[in-house]
A and B are shown apart, each in its own frame.
Chain A
Amino acid sequence: MIIHQVLFIVFGIICVAGAINLLAQRHPINSALSLVVVMASLALVYLLLGAEFVAAVQVIVYAGAIMVLFVFVIMLLNAGAEERTRGSRMALIVGVPGVIVLAGTIAWLLVNQSGHLGGVQIATSDFGETHAIARLLFRNFLLPFEVTSVLILIAIMGAVVLGKKEN
Chain B
Amino acid sequence: MIPLSWYLILSAILFCLGVFGFLLKRNIITIFMSIELMLNAVNLSFAAFANYWNTHPTKLVDGSNVVPLSGHIFVFFVMVVAAAEAAVGLAIIISVFRTRETLNVDRVNLLKL
Cβ-based interface call for B92 (8 A): yes
Contacts of B80 in A (CB 8 A): 148, 151-152
> Dominant SS at the A interface?
helix
Count of interface residues, chain B, beta-carbon cutoff 8 Å:
74
Residue contact A49 to B50, C-beta cutoff 8 Å: yes
Residues of A within 8 A of B (CB): 1, 4-5, 8, 12, 15-16, 19-20, 22-23, 28, 31-32, 35, 38-39, 42, 45-46, 48-51, 53-54, 57-58, 61-62, 65-66, 69-70, 73-74, 76-77, 79, 82-88, 91-92, 95-96, 99-100, 102-103, 106-107, 110-111, 113-114, 117-121, 123, 127-128, 132-133, 136-137, 140-141, 144, 148, 151-152, 154-156, 158-160, 162-163, 165
Nearest A-chain residue to B99, judged by Cβ: A166
Beyond contacts A51-B72, A99-B16: 16 other A-B pairs, Cβ-Cβ < 8 A, are A31-B33, A49-B47, A86-B106, A91-B23, A99-B20, A103-B12, A103-B16, A119-B2, A120-B55, A127-B51, A127-B54, A148-B81, A152-B80, A154-B84, A155-B87, A162-B88
Residue contact B14 to A19, C-beta cutoff 8 Å: yes
Residue contact B23 to A133, C-beta cutoff 8 Å: no
Contacts of A50 in B (CB 8 A): 51, 54
Nearest B-chain residue to A52, judged by Cβ: B72
Known contacts A106-B12, A136-B67: does B87 contact A70 (CB below 8 Å)?
A: no
Residue contact A123 to B54, C-beta cutoff 8 Å: yes
Residue contact B4 to A120, C-beta cutoff 8 Å: yes
Cβ-based interface call for B83 (8 A): yes
Residue contact B51 to A87, C-beta cutoff 8 Å: no
Residue contact A120 to B1, C-beta cutoff 8 Å: yes
Contacts of A100 in B (CB 8 A): 16
Nearest A-chain residue to B7, judged by Cβ: A120
Question: In whole angstroms, what is the CA distance A107 to B78 when docked?
Answer: 24
Contacts of A144 in B (CB 8 A): 77
Residue contact A87 to B9, C-beta cutoff 8 Å: no
